[in-house]
Structure 1
């Protein structure tokens, strides 16, 4: 049980610019929700909670001087779902809480409702301009452990931007000189062209495929789902990579861990869901565009610099062909993301009369917006992002990960906790398919050729 001990607002420690910062066309199609993230700590024996609490509040206030857009608010513009940012230093939400649980009670920190209670919740019935862009909750456990839960606006930041913010905040908390890149706040590089030029078929904006013989997603979106953490040892990861690369085209570069594991997960979900061979299925994922733009975005770019793409296949091919087939479809989608493709995608966002459908697909059993569950999957990867090692002065975290997995088929691929080459896949799937998925996920690693 989590008991709130106090909630208040943290504002920037110094006056910050009041001029508006543009919301780019890369930000405009992101959900009007907050990404729930949790850091878990096991401080040393001489740790003082009261000192740590004061330190983290003061350092957050100082960090907001650099990241002052997070202390502002979003406002709707017209009736088309577009938003603008007001830099008014209204502040971020901060709560302190206590729990009678112990860290051991959370096992591998699977994103269950119990874990979600350690992260601030947001009432989206509240007018948008009244909702903080960042909310923080520090929770003390009876065993002496701590968790730091964050809910950060999807419109304001992607994973790379969040990491930059956490690094600055932690260095300030430790009293160290800032040796990290400070945020680059100008988002104009990711605006659409004038006039917009549509040169590609941006199928990520198309309605997701439905199950064969179904005219809508109502039946699927109302089925009960559950979440699991799938653990892969370094040996299992290497085996998947080897299997993906054994039958790849000789002239192509080797498939990455992500391409192999995501391809494996995609085919396993098709099998667990018992798809027909002709079923169309898509795997949605995000591509970091910071180094794909011409010129590359400045270091420290703060905002969204990711583009959502989709790999497409018939389930029968995924299930019967070598793993390299699924990995190759993912590779094709990644290589499609060039500077010109990205600019065309922004142009497509710009000409949309209404963006509301992109704002509402995120929630479990949502009755609004597109449904990206069965027969599809979505895989978010933090591989290659240095998300871990955030030390506020009481040691590095023992766990960092998502606070929830939003909908059927949604998954996260993360590095294992010990930096030993292992991986963790957090996955939400319909209850009726989960047992089969867990069996297939490991069985196929042994049996795939």
Structure 2
């Protein structure tokens, strides 16, 4: 449960269970569910409900809890718990134990949160705290916190276990929850069978073990990046106008030959290339410094046949674009975009299935998992930290417009994150622009902002 501060007081904590009996038993997880981040991912929404929703004060909480109980019937795995098996693998025990629902009261006004930046000192108290010292089978897969503010505004923060759902599936759940809260029927039931990727034999393909086992680049002269990952970080949210984004696309597409496939570079490929270059400059890299950029690719529509509509689980694959920092900094933006395009284009039916077969053969899954919070270590995932970064796109996800019956949010954000080089691209909530949420070492952030904006004014 989240800690209290003088400005936020926790009032109650409930377990919300499915409204009707649901199937009980072990739900096998796919290999994709058990790699990478297996802890909880936070999002937070802020609202200013009209007066008729504020009286009586229990109306909002009752609406949320009742509709949550309803949506957990079709999404019943989220009411269960993870169960370890051997060698770092686990299943979901569908046991209807429910999700955690916390109510809190704040003496703050929403206006005191300013631009709702995740660097706000109050954010940690608005988002549930997960106690990973508990046995994993005792930790809810979903945790919700409703906070009432002095002005009548509220925030709803949602933590969803990444082992249970990726971003697409988490948003499927939250949007269906909101529909039921508004009194509307379910739009699309989740497809819960995770064994939907039958093996295909690619007879002429040789598995490149180097591809699977390559290590992330290190700072020249270092044998690991443990010390780099211990350095103090900070988060910034940078705004990119539609005009600036279009300028970057135009620059990239005109500066480095014809993009592969005859398609111009996308917003993601151009803006991410710009972030990559700016980070190299801000970090003071030499020309010979190797650097890697992690790209998270949704493969639902990249396999044949495509995954079923409403597939619920994880269907993303991380690929790495690599370059020398000197090339990124000296060559036109289109070069950086071309490196990213090349990495993304690798993810096709054959590539996904080769990874799937590779993971199936692994004896120990722990080396593929980010276990830092579960194990209580300072490890922050081997890929993150100078000289590397990862840029995850939420540009096409339905993150806005989550209406539980009292109107759409006034702000939605990704919660907090503290890994050097961890960044997100989001559509702007207010206009046609974009937002870059990025975490870097404190000593590099000002320089990053300078380089980031110098090249797009």
The alignment's TM-score, normalised by the length of structure 2, stands at 0.93
CA distance in 2, matches of 1:117, 1:185: 33
| Cα distance, 1:356 vs structure 2 | 1.6
2:392 maps to which residue? 380
- 2:383/2:389 contact within 8 Å kept: no
- 1:24/1:191 contact within 8 Å kept: no
Matches within 5 A, 1:129-144: 129-144=137-152
| Cα distance, 1:198 vs structure 2 | 6.6
Q: 1:250 to 1:218 in 2, by over 3 A?
A: closer
1:227 maps to which residue? 235
1:148 and 2:156 aligned: yes
| Cα distance, 1:258 vs structure 2 | 0.6
**1:300-351 Cα shifts (integer Å, max 9, x gaps):** 0110111111111110000000000111111011100001100111122222
1:110 and 2:114 aligned: no
| Cα distance, 1:116 vs structure 2 | 3.0
**1:370-411 Cα shifts (integer Å, max 9, x gaps):** 251100001111011122111000101112221112300000
2:28 maps to which residue? 22
Aligned residues: 443
Give unpaired runs (5+ residues) of structure 2.
1-6
1:308 and 2:318 aligned: yes
2:171 maps to which residue? 163
1:329 and 2:336 aligned: no
Matches within 5 A, 1:273-292: 273-292=283-302
1:89 and 2:105 aligned: no
**Matched position secondary structure for 1:445:** coil
- 1:28/1:349 contact within 8 Å kept: no
Q: 1:226 to 1:127 in 2, by over 3 A?
A: same
- 1:199/1:341 contact within 8 Å kept: no
1:4 maps to which residue? 10
Matches within 5 A, 1:175-186: 175-178=183-186, 180-186=187-193
Q: 1:369 to 1:262 in 2, by over 3 A?
A: closer
CA distance in 2, matches of 1:90, 1:184: 21
CA distance in 1, matches of 2:417, 2:206: 33
- 2:75/2:173 contact within 8 Å kept: yes
2:4 maps to which residue? none
Q: 1:329 to 1:435 in 2, by over 3 A?
A: same
**Matched position secondary structure for 1:86:** strand
| Cα distance, 1:30 vs structure 2 | 3.1
2:379 maps to which residue? 367
CA distance in 1, matches of 2:405, 2:417: 29
Say which of 257, 265, 269 aligns to 1:255. 265
1:213 maps to which residue? 221
- 2:233/2:418 contact within 8 Å kept: no
CA distance in 2, matches of 1:6, 1:318: 52
Q: 1:293 to 1:371 in 2, by over 3 A?
A: closer
The alignment's TM-score, normalised by the length of structure 1, stands at 0.94
Give unpaired runs (5+ residues) of structure 1.
none
- 2:24/2:95 contact within 8 Å kept: yes
| Cα distance, 1:57 vs structure 2 | 0.1
| Cα distance, 1:118 vs structure 2 | 1.1
CA distance in 1, matches of 2:412, 2:93: 30
- 2:202/2:350 contact within 8 Å kept: no
Q: 1:374 to 1:151 in 2, by over 3 A?
A: same
| Cα distance, 1:361 vs structure 2 | 6.2
CA distance in 2, matches of 1:368, 1:389: 32
Matches within 5 A, 1:75-86: 75-78=83-86, 80-86=87-93
**Matched position secondary structure for 2:90:** strand
Say which of 272, 276, 296 aligns to 2:306. 296
Q: 1:334 to 1:347 in 2, by over 3 A?
A: same
**Matched position secondary structure for 2:26:** coil
**Matched position secondary structure for 1:46:** helix
- 2:256/2:332 contact within 8 Å kept: no
2:67 maps to which residue? 59
CA distance in 1, matches of 2:202, 2:94: 28
- 1:5/1:97 contact within 8 Å kept: yes
**Matched position secondary structure for 2:288:** coil
CA distance in 2, matches of 1:423, 1:194: 41
